[in-house]
Structure 1
């Protein structure tokens, strides 16, 4: 095998065909570099078609007459590179998820007059449970029944292809945990909040409500038993919510078991 001459190699380095091949490699490597370097994901379908376009440029470039001189070619190659970058930014950049409304912050005040715990304590205790049960995924995915989901189970306004930063995800979880705790706590009597809700039990109800919904949690047998003073029976009734789409899921069985254990602390 005989290599081309030095002069031919220099000419090839500023050729449209060679530039197209290099840009194709850059396009294919960009998603990996950006993901590991910045934690940001590009749309793989858009990246594929952009790389296909640069590869087509390299093939067509074999038949295009090029002017003499390095600079006459370099500005054209630079323009090709700029167009590829703009295409990446416009078509391949995944949409960043942004909550539809203002995010809530848990209050440091007692959950009721005479209560010994605060909303902030409950939410902070619930956060690791929510993360552990829901997982943390910074790119939109479909949950067990096909709903587009992001972060740790958030579904509002989520579309496939969206991304969220790690810090944004933490703020989103705290906001939603606050919202769901406030929602379910409205179904609790003043006596329940004063005498029956400690930090782990409040966290159990927060995680439980995020998973089953405020309406279902508020009208559940578990809530009726809790307000009647039957704490142990209330915790047990939580474990009945282990189905999704009418099918028992092992993950929900585990989650309800964890809810039960936290709920029973101090019972």
Structure 2
């Protein structure tokens, strides 16, 4: 047996409280879906309070005399708000520059990382006893391996590009389109190349950058100055240079 009220169609058509509660739920849910699919930030405090206000309006509507005229007025108001928000989003996207390209970043990152890492054509053990060759490459390296200068440079380009692509999976769209310059992208990539993609991708430095705190993100890169559980002067100096590169143009 149906539990719907007999005049549910007319209630849905003219009920202020019903539509206010629907709007409140949408305000709370849609931004989360938008972030899940696009990675673009939004203001959760604003969305939360707007959703609460709409839900409160729905509760008030339960005791307020309602009719078709009220429904039309509120629908018109909601339509105006939605239109303004959409126009603002379109204007923001239209004003956004193209994201920095891999070529632009590599042009800065490769020579920077090459200088920081130094080059040794024969495999050796680094400070934490990991077999390393060329510009700090460790993948598939064993003691006794040798590579030419050209091979080392090509290996570095390939690995830097790979690290950059991996790190970019942790950046939201706003960061990629608006916050990354070739220098800042190179600084983050250099730190990831030295410390690991996952470590920097999940770090405070990346979270701050994604939240819009560019200076704070660059500063947080300097925290990665330890190896083998102790602070190393060489890493402190490298992180300072990466921080300076990250802050260029800010």
TM-score range, shorter chain: 0.5 to 0.7
Shift of residue 129, structure 1, vs aligned partner? 1.3
Partner of 2:154 in structure 1?
Answer: 171
Matched residues in 2 for 1:141 and 1:184: separation? 27
Distance, in Å, in 2 between the alignment partners of 1:116 and 1:241 is 26
Among 183, 188, 198, the alignment partner of 2:181 is 198
**Is 1:115 aligned with 2:93?**
no
Conserved 8 A contact 1:126-1:206: yes
What pairs up with 1:74-113 in 2 under 5 angstroms? none
Equivalenced residues, count? 155
Report the counterpart of residue 246 of structure 1 in structure 2: 229
CA contact (8 A) 2:99 2:176 kept: no
Pick the aligned partner of 2:242 from 235, 259, 262. 259
CA offsets per residue over residues 3-34 of structure 1, 9 Å max, x none?
A: xxxxxxxxxxxxxxxxxxxxxxxxxxxxxxxx
How far, CA to CA, are the matches of 1:114 and 1:178 in structure 2?
A: 21
- Cα distance between partner residues in 1 of 2:118 and 2:183: 20
SS at match of 1:167: helix
Correspondence list, 1:108-187, <5 A = 114-187=97-170
Equivalent-residue separation in structure 1 for 2:202 and 2:100 (angstroms):
24
Shift of 1:115: 2.0
Partner Cα separation in structure 2 for residue 137 and residue 115 of structure 1: 37
Q: When the two structures are superposed, what TM-score results if normalisation uses the length of structure 2?
A: 0.61
Residue 223 of structure 2 aligns to a residue whose secondary structure is: coil
The alignment partner of 1:239 has SS state of helix
